[in-house]
Each structure stands twice: as structure tokens, then as C-alpha cells.
Amino acid sequence: MTRQLAIGLVAHDDKKADLVDWALAHAAFLEKHVLYGTGTTGGRILQALPQLQLTRLKSGPLGGDQQLGAMIAEGRLDILIFFVDPLSPQPHDVDVKALIRLATLADIPFACNAATATLVVKGLDA
């Protein structure tokens, strides 16, 4: 991979710790790219990895999911890593569905769990 990628990082509340753990395990890859994280998720990642080039957006329910969606629609996001909690209801489920829909329509790599995110990273880092 020769160019920097724009990567969106977001996780539902019960998956934030999993995303931080995943980011720690893949810090060498993430350090090479430009990252965007929704409010709390981005803050937790930066606490663990302050060296990352990560821009914090608004919290997901307060517009962060929509900010990432706008970036996808404008062709400014290359990858979306969104650790989804399928067992907890989300009050902003409509925003989440819209974000997933945009990632699918834009045909960008979209990982909703650690296993898929790891495969995406390994594929790009080869």
C-alpha cells in the first residue's frame, strides 16, 4: 500500500473495548493512515494510541455516523470499520442503517467485527 487511506472507526457502546483492543493489535497499520472516529470511540482509541492521526467527529447519535456517511458519499472515506453490537437495541438505528447502506453503495471495504477488520488490514498490508 503506497498511499494513505482514510479509515472510519466506530463502535457501539458494548463493542468499544473490542475496537480499542483491535486498534492496539493493528497499530502499525493504523499509524500509516488517516483515521476518523466518532466521539467516544475516537477518544478511547486516542487514549490507548495517542500517536495516531485520528480526527474525532461528533458522537454517533449526535451526528458522527452522518458525518462518516457524508465522507463516504463524497468519496473521502476508503474503509469503514464499525464494530456492531447485534444484541443491543440502538436508539439511533436509522443512522447506523444509513451508514451501512452508504458503505455498501459506495463499494468500500466495510468490517463489522474484528475478524473481518483483520482480514481487510492483512489484505491491504500485503
Per the annotation, binding residues for substrate are: 12, 16, 38-41, 59-60, 92
Known binding residues are 12, 16, 38-41, 59-60, 92
**C-alpha cell recorded at residue 92:** 439511533
CA separation for the pair 50, 113 (Å, rounded) = 23
Asked about 65 being catalytic, the answer comes back as yes
Backbone angles phi, psi at 84, to 5 degrees: -95, 140
The single residue of 65, 85, 107, 125 carrying the catalytic annotation is: 65
**Strand ranges, E, within the chain:** 6-11, 34-37, 54-56, 79-83, 110-111
* Measured CA angle at 11 (ends 85, 103), to 5 deg: 95
Tell me the catalytic residues: 65
